[in-house]
Amino acid sequence: KVLIQTKKLSKSFSNGGNLFHVLKNIDLEIYQGDFTVIMGPSGAGKSTLLYAISGMDTPSLGSICYGDIDITKLNQNELALFRRDNSGFVFQSIYLIDSMSVLDNVLASGLLKNKNKKEAVKKAKETLLAVDIKEEYFNKFPNQLSGGECQRVGIARALVNSPSVVFADEPTGALNSKTGKDVLDTLTEANRLGQTIVMVTHDITSARRANRILYIKDGEIAGECILGPYIPHD
Ligand code: ADP
Ligand code: ADP
């Protein structure tokens, strides 16, 4: 089932009077339940594409449809509501709030959607446990956690509202390979449980978690491949 469909998606930046075309007429589909990875050389437009299809940034031209909702037609308020209800984000530089506990970082997102505090607390705790953050960490602060633990909290924050899709931009880019693997395992498990994921990476080890790879070059889709199941070697 198609979850997101773009048509002639384009993004240009003006660069000293000249237009620089970062995304050029991209037609793509993201399928429900897939773990899709976007790969390609640095500067190819991967992040720009991710930010456009997630509604974090607006394209210059083209449409981005979630079912029959074209998010390019929404105003800023409608778009913010749409994102709150439909998407979760995981960033390379994790952006937890340092002055808030682990639980409160996740709860803050959960409360946005779920007005019932008790329900939201329950969901936040369940989500943290699901990403393997144990109860004794709930009241710690981000600076008491390792980078990998912080990123798993970041993933819990993205998952807590059960979004239709989670977008991740180089989620392991700031981590070493061991903690990066734990983060990938967490995303892989979320996907196994049905979560649709779209991840930008230039790392082939990370990309192997996907069942579909879209390859972007010079702002265009230059190729795609479908992968078999991920088989861990350890
Ligand atoms: P990738 O994620 O594939 O490395 P990006 O999508 O981040 O590529 O960027 C693609 C190109 O667009 C780069 O050349 C970058 O410099 C340019 N770019 C990205 N964002 C902006 C912006 N806000 N203003 C001007 N140029 C930008
Ligand atoms: P990547 O996606 O490759 O990890 P970034 O998205 O952080 O890297 O940035 C890619 C390139 O886009 C960088 O060269 C950066 O300087 C450029 N870029 C990002 N945002 C802007 C912006 N607002 N204006 C100009 N250039 C930008």
> Phi and psi (nearest 5°) for 18?
-90, 145
Instruction: Return all residues near 44 (Cβ < 8 A) that are at least 6 apart.
Output: 216, 217, 218, 219
pLDDT of amino acid 177: 84
Length of the chain: 234
Q: Which long-range contacts (CB under 8 A, 24 or more apart) does 118-126 make?
A: 123/160, 124/156, 124/160
pLDDT of amino acid 199: 97
pLDDT of amino acid 197: 97
Confidence band (pLDDT; 50, 70, 90) for 10? very high
Asked if the model's pLDDT at residue 124 lies above 90, the reply is: yes
pLDDT of amino acid 208: 92
Average pLDDT over residues 90-103: 92
Q: Is the CB of 11 under 6 A from ligand 1?
A: no
Asked if the model's pLDDT at residue 23 lies above 80, the reply is: yes
Asked if the model's pLDDT at residue 179 lies above 80, the reply is: yes
Site to substitute for ligand 2 among 15, 47, 200, most atoms within 8 A of C-beta: 47
**Ligand 1 atom nearest 45 alpha carbon:** 6
pLDDT of amino acid 6: 97
Per-residue pLDDT reduced to its tens digit, 65-96? 999 999 999 999 999 999 988 999 999 888 89
Site to substitute for ligand 1 among 12, 15, 19, 22, most atoms within 8 A of C-beta: 22
pLDDT of amino acid 176: 85
pLDDT of amino acid 231: 83
Confidence band (pLDDT; 50, 70, 90) for 233? confident
32/20 Cα distance (integer angstroms): 32
Asked if the model's pLDDT at residue 194 lies above 90, the reply is: yes
Average pLDDT over residues 106-117: 80
Confidence band (pLDDT; 50, 70, 90) for 234? low
Average pLDDT for the chain: 92
Q: Is the CB of 117 under 6 A from ligand 1?
A: no
Average pLDDT over residues 124-135: 92
Query: If you count DSSP H runs as helices and E runs as strands, how many of each does the chain have, helices first?
Result: 7, 10
Q: Is the CB of 42 under 6 A from ligand 2?
A: yes
167/197 Cα distance (integer angstroms): 6
Query: Taking the CB of residue 66, how many other CB atoms lie within 10 A of it?
Result: 19
82/227 Cα distance (integer angstroms): 31
